[in-house]
Structure 1
Amino acid sequence: MAKKKSMKGLGARYGIKPRKQYTQVHLMLKEKRTCPDCGSKKLSREAVGIWKCQKCGFKIAGTAYDVKL
């Protein structure tokens, strides 16, 4: 079975283009990232532009939806 895209937040509203953009941002936000300090896959977004490793507590500033190392 194919991987199901995440368009649940908008339903059938707003048209196809905003729903595709929402899905793209949502999937990018939820993907697993590696910590540059300890190498674990526990880096998650704490606030807009602030990313924190759950394992070692390392904080890094990035963009709103992604980390550019």
Structure 2
Amino acid sequence: MAKAKKSLKGLGARYGIKLRKQYTKIHLQLKEKRTCPECGSQTFGRDAVGIWSCKKCSYKVAGTAYDIKL
């Protein structure tokens, strides 16, 4: 039995395979769990494009649009 792929809803069979693969890669990268560099909790996430913050200690940092580079 083959492994089931993670399917993302929203695009369906539209826009071509190349764009759907790029969308999937960016979406999974954006939604992955991150640890806060200050307190180490798992509540570190994106507030807006390029603004990342921790909901526990309210630490804010500027980064790239879809990922954080510290």
> Does TM, scored on the shorter chain, surpass 0.5?
yes
Please tell me the residue identity of whatever aligns with 1:43: F
Corresponding residue for 1:47? 48
What is the match of residue 12 of structure 1? 13
Moved over 6 A (4+): none
Q: Tell which structure's C-alpha radius of gyration is larger.
A: 2
Amino acid at match of 1:50: I
Give me the whole-angstrom Cα distance separating, in 2, the residues matched to 1:40 and 1:30.
16
How many aligned positions are there? 69
- Which runs of no fewer than 5 residues in structure 2 stay unpaired? none
TM-score normalised over the length of structure 1:
0.91
RMSD, matched Cα: 1.5
Greater displacement, 37-46 / 1-10: 1-10
Give, as a single letter, the amino acid of the residue that structure 2 aligns with 1:57.
S
| TM-score between the two structures when normalised by the length of structure 2 | 0.90
Deviation at 1:5, TM superposition (A): 2.0
Structure 1: 5+ residue runs without aligned partners? none
